[in-house]
């Protein structure tokens, strides 16, 4: 299945007509996932649109887990440079390996400004060439993958190539992998307080952001407590008890955090805390503490939300 968002089929779209002809137009695709394309090796289940219904979400999830989500940028690359964090956050809710496809020729003029297909980007003021490079590095650090073709006319062939690789999962030339990216250990800056560090770490988790990270830090007090809170599905029951329960933290946020942290079981309380903490801070290769035969550490009995 090759699906595209309706925005890719508009008259103003630069997507080649033969690419559009091969695609299934799926309303709601980009709004839900942040992606322009969905390339899946599966023909079923049928996906005609993406809505908030459980059935529609389940169908989309099936294709995302089997295939790949792709955000395409060409002459509108400045939108990626300024919004790549938001695009990534949306895509990470559905895949651990978001793809970016750059279509065009991205060069630099003598002033150091970005040039796209021979025209300076950013109008009269221009746009720093390294703005694109830095955005691509940020995309990769967050677990994203990217590729580029020199012209829009090559997009159809690129999609076909990726589709074939998804089908030939055991091919020696396979370059697409569902392996979850390893989390890296974040180091506290010299002038950074424990609260600032907690906010910075939490704000990079899917569905959190800075404002929610601040609220969670105020509620939990420390990073360890915050990770415990976000890794335990039973934390949601506290919403009706505590007035200072962080707004916007529900089933979806906790599920996304557990998934991106690579939790290996459905444990709660101490089990979940220990697994998420060691996964994030001690064993960034995501193997988990069980591999090392480590005993359960002593966790403080009274947490801020108890």
- Asked if pLDDT for residue 67 goes beyond 80, the answer is yes
Within-domain flag for 184: no
**The pLDDT of residue 169:** 63
Closest CA to 28 of 98, 97, 117, 90: 90
Q: Are residues 71 and 151 in the same domain?
A: yes
154 and 199 in a single domain? The answer is no
Q: Residue 227 domain-assigned?
A: yes
Same domain (yes/no): 228, 280: yes
Lowest mean pLDDT of 69-83, 88-102, 105-119, 252-266, name the range. 252-266
User: Which candidate, 84, 111, 96, 87, places its Cα nearest to that of 33?
Assistant: 87
Comparing 21-35, 159-173, 207-221, 274-288, the range with the smallest average pLDDT is 274-288
- 209: in domain: yes
What is the CB neighbour count within 10 angstroms for residue 271? 15
DSSP codes joined into one string, 151-182: SGGGHHHHHHHHHHHHH-TT-TT-----PPPP
Confidence bin at 305 (pLDDT 50/70/90): low
Residue 272, in any domain of the structure: yes
State how far Cα 206 lies from the chain centre.
Answer: 7
pLDDT value for 298: 42
Tell whether 103 is covered by a domain: yes
Residues 13 and 124 reside in one and the same domain: yes
**How far is the C-alpha of 305 from the C-alpha of 216, rounded, in Å?**
11
| Helix 223-231 × helix 251-260 angle, to 10° | 110
Cβ-based burial of 205 (10 A; exposed 0-12, middle 13-18, buried ≥19) = buried
Report yes or no on 172 lying in a domain. Answer: no
Q: Are 278 and 150 within one domain? A: no
Give the model confidence (pLDDT) of 146-193 as tens digits.
999 999 999 999 999 999 988 876 444 444 444 444 444 444 444 567
| Whole-number average pLDDT of the chain | 79
CATH value at residue 16: 3.40.50.10130
Residue 62 CB contacts under 8 Å (≥ 6 apart), including other chains: 42, 45
pLDDT tens per residue across span 263-304? 655 544 445 555 555 544 443 333 433 433 444 444 444 454
262 and 151 part of one domain = no
φ, ψ of residue 207 to 5 degrees: the values are: 80, 10
Domain match, 143 and 239 both: no
Minimal CA–CA distance to 38: which of 103, 91, 93? 91
CA gap 35, 95 in Å, rounded: 11
The total domain count for the chain is 2
**Structure token pair of residue 138:** 């940020």
Do 12 and 160 share a domain, yes or no? yes
- Can you give the residue range of the structural domain that contains 206? 194-292
Is 64 in the same domain as 103? yes
């Amino acid at each position: 299945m090759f699906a595209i968002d309706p925005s890719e089929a508009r008259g103003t779209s630069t997507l080649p007509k033969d690419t559009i002809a091969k695609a299934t137009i799926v309303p709601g695709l980009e709004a839900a996932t942040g992606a322009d394309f969905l390339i899946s090796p599966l023909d079923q289940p049928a996906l005609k649109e993406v809505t908030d219904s459980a059935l529609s979400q389940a169908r989309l999830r099936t294709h995302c887990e089997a295939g790949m989500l792709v955000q395409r940028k060409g002459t509108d690359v400045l939108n990626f440079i300024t919004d790549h964090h938001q695009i990534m956050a949306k895509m990470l809710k559905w895949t651990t390996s978001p793809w970016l496809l750059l279509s065009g020729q991205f060069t630099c003029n003598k002033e150091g400004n970005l040039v796209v297909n021979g025209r300076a980007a950013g109008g009269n003021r221009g746009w720093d060439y390294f703005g694109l490079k830095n955005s691509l590095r940020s995309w990769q650090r967050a677990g994203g993958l990217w590729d580029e073709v020199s012209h829009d006319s090559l997009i159809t062939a690129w999609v076909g190539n990726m589709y074939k690789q998804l089908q030939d999962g055991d091919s020696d030339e396979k370059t697409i992998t569902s392996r979850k990216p390893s989390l890296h250990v974040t180091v506290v800056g010299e002038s950074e307080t424990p609260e600032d560090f907690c906010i910075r770490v939490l704000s990079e988790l899917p569905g959190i952001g800075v404002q929610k990270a601040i609220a969670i830090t105020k509620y939990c007090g420390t990073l360890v407590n915050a990770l415990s809170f976000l890794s335990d599905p039973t934390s949601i029951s506290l919403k009706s008890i505590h007035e200072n329960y962080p707004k916007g933290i529900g089933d979806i946020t906790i599920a996304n955090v557990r998934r991106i942290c690579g939790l290996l079981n459905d444990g709660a309380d101490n089990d979940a805390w220990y697994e998420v903490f060691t996964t994030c801070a001690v064993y960034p290769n995501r193997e988990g503490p069980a591999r090392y035969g480590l005993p359960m550490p002593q966790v403080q009995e009274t947490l801020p939300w108890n």
